Homo-oligomer: A and B are copies of this chain.
Amino acid sequence: MSVGIRHDDLRRRNRAMVISAVRRAGQPSRTEIAATTGLSHSTISAISADLIQEGILTESKASEPTALKRGRPQIGLALNPEAAAVLTVVLSLNFLSVAVIDYAGQVVAEEQQRLDTLVMPRDELIGECVAIVRRRLQDPDLDIGSVARIAMGIQGITDSNARAMLWSPITPLTDIPFADILEKEFGISATMENDCNMMAVALQWRDPERYRDDFIAILLSHGIGMGLVLKGALFTGTHSSGGEFGHMIHRPGGALCRCGRRGCVEAYAGNYAIWRSAMRMSEDAEPVDVGDADMRALAAKARERDGPEREAYRRAGEALGFGLGSLFALIDPAPVAMVGVSAAAFDLIEPALREAIAQTAGGQHSESISFDTEPNELPLIREGCAMRALTFVDQEIFAPGGLARAGKHVA
């Protein structure tokens, strides 16, 4: 059960708080930090002195634009880029991408690679992932010791502890404990995250005005995925990454889904479903993977004339609308970000989607629900992984709990 607060936890938490305030605000002064955290100036001063002395933060007088103000000028505090580094690995359909990111969040190196995820045997898939990470870590420009965390993101279902991929549409393989594999291989703590959850994390950092406490990120691609932030925190299932919006039931016993079941939202709104419908194929037809270029061509044709293509997007909108309606019955309406190649065709989807939502419990405020679109999911996923890894370093390594507070008194 929940445990009492130990006296030494106090400092730990407040350290984490200060780091987090700096990461969020860019270059806040001590006074700003005191204001946002509610702690006293003296506490902030003491903690930031520690953090600077430990090389985690740096003072940067860069706040020049405030030259017009009277009084002692504020000293901006910034994250020391060299304090640590993290590594992100994003595995998606036929594509593997790795990046090294410094503690301040800047990409310092990256590498990408095509590979046939759908047909690769287990050992080979794991081998390629390990190999690309190894290449990046052996880069002579990189101090390998500074890499404090690896965050891997994958399209598919992961477990709720962010250790393993349980199931993924990009490979027939299941239950690959990537986090354990990478940890064992490189001795660096690692996580395995769901791609859509990382998209949501990235949106929260990119545009905290709009995406703060409650919002939904939906991936419209080969499959339909969702990342959900409720009350400021990422929502996950009890055992898995959860939030499998694409596999909510739209029509019981309906169209065949890639997951093998029938009537899922994805079976109407996934790329393959739109394609299948546009080509007047049976709803029972085996799902096929459609390239992004083909999807863009399909959308163009749908815009051009009323026909089966337009009808396919209409049906997709309907499925998404009723799905969102059911979701909104549970969590109340929230802003939605549509991400992925079919988000670029959202103009074709939106009318039917709104019409469907209006028929559901969430529909009371149908007009007020706002949709954003972002056609490119990969940068978002990587950014989310990076922030995930960095905030872990902030909290678990630079504000460690209980023991391991060595080397603190001497410079």
Q: Which residues of A contact B (CB under 8 A)?
A: 1-7, 10, 13-14, 17, 24, 36-39, 43, 160, 213-214, 230-231, 237-240, 242-245, 247-253, 259, 261-264, 318, 322, 325-327, 329-332, 334, 356, 359-361, 363
Report 17 cross-chain contacts, Cβ distance below 8 Å, ordered by A residue: A5-B5, A6-B39, A7-B10, A160-B332, A213-B238, A237-B330, A238-B334, A240-B332, A242-B332, A247-B329, A248-B329, A249-B322, A251-B251, A252-B356, A259-B361, A261-B361, A327-B330
Cross-chain contact of A238 among B3, B214, B261 (Cβ < 8 A)? B214
CA distance A329 to B327 in the complex (A): 11
Give every chain B residue within 8 A of A239 (Cβ-Cβ). 332
CB pair B325–A249 under 8 Å, yes or no, is yes
CB pair B356–A244 under 8 Å, yes or no, is no
CA distance A327 to B326 in the complex (A): 9
Give every chain B residue within 8 A of A2 (Cβ-Cβ). 17
How many whole Å from A33's CB to the nearest CB in chain B?
A: 9
CB pair B10–A14 under 8 Å, yes or no, is no
Give every chain B residue within 8 A of A1 (Cβ-Cβ). 24, 36
Are A330 and B243 CB-contacts (below 8 A) given A214-B238, A264-B361, A322-B252? Answer: yes
How many whole Å from A254's CB to the nearest CB in chain B?
A: 10
How many whole Å from A356's CB to the nearest CB in chain B?
A: 7
CB pair B238–A38 under 8 Å, yes or no, is no
CB pair A17–B38 under 8 Å, yes or no, is no
Q: Most chain-B CB neighbours within 10 Å: which of A237, A243, A363?
A: A237
CB pair A361–B244 under 8 Å, yes or no, is yes
CA distance A253 to B359 in the complex (A): 8
Give every chain B residue within 8 A of A244 (Cβ-Cβ). 329-330, 361
CB pair B360–A261 under 8 Å, yes or no, is yes
CB pair B252–A330 under 8 Å, yes or no, is no
CA distance A280 to B361 in the complex (A): 27
CA distance A359 to B248 in the complex (A): 11
- A10-B10, A214-B238, A330-B330 are known contacts; what are 12 more A-B pairs with Cβ within 8 Å? A1-B24, A4-B14, A4-B43, A7-B10, A213-B238, A237-B331, A242-B332, A248-B330, A249-B322, A249-B325, A261-B359, A261-B363
Are A329 and B245 CB-contacts (below 8 A) given A238-B334, A252-B318? Answer: yes
How many whole Å from A37's CB to the nearest CB in chain B?
A: 4
Q: Which residue of B lies closest to A208 (CB)?
A: B1
Give every chain B residue within 8 A of A230 (Cβ-Cβ). 238
Give every chain B residue within 8 A of A318 (Cβ-Cβ). 252
Give every chain B residue within 8 A of A39 (Cβ-Cβ). 4, 6
CB pair B242–A330 under 8 Å, yes or no, is yes
CA distance A45 to B347 in the complex (A): 65
Give every chain B residue within 8 A of A243 (Cβ-Cβ). 330
Give every chain B residue within 8 A of A264 (Cβ-Cβ). 361
How many whole Å from A34's CB to the nearest CB in chain B?
A: 9
How many whole Å from A272's CB to the nearest CB in chain B?
A: 17
CB pair B332–A237 under 8 Å, yes or no, is yes
The 7 closest A-B pairs by CB, nearest first: A237-B332, A248-B326, A4-B37, A4-B39, A247-B361, A244-B329, A214-B238
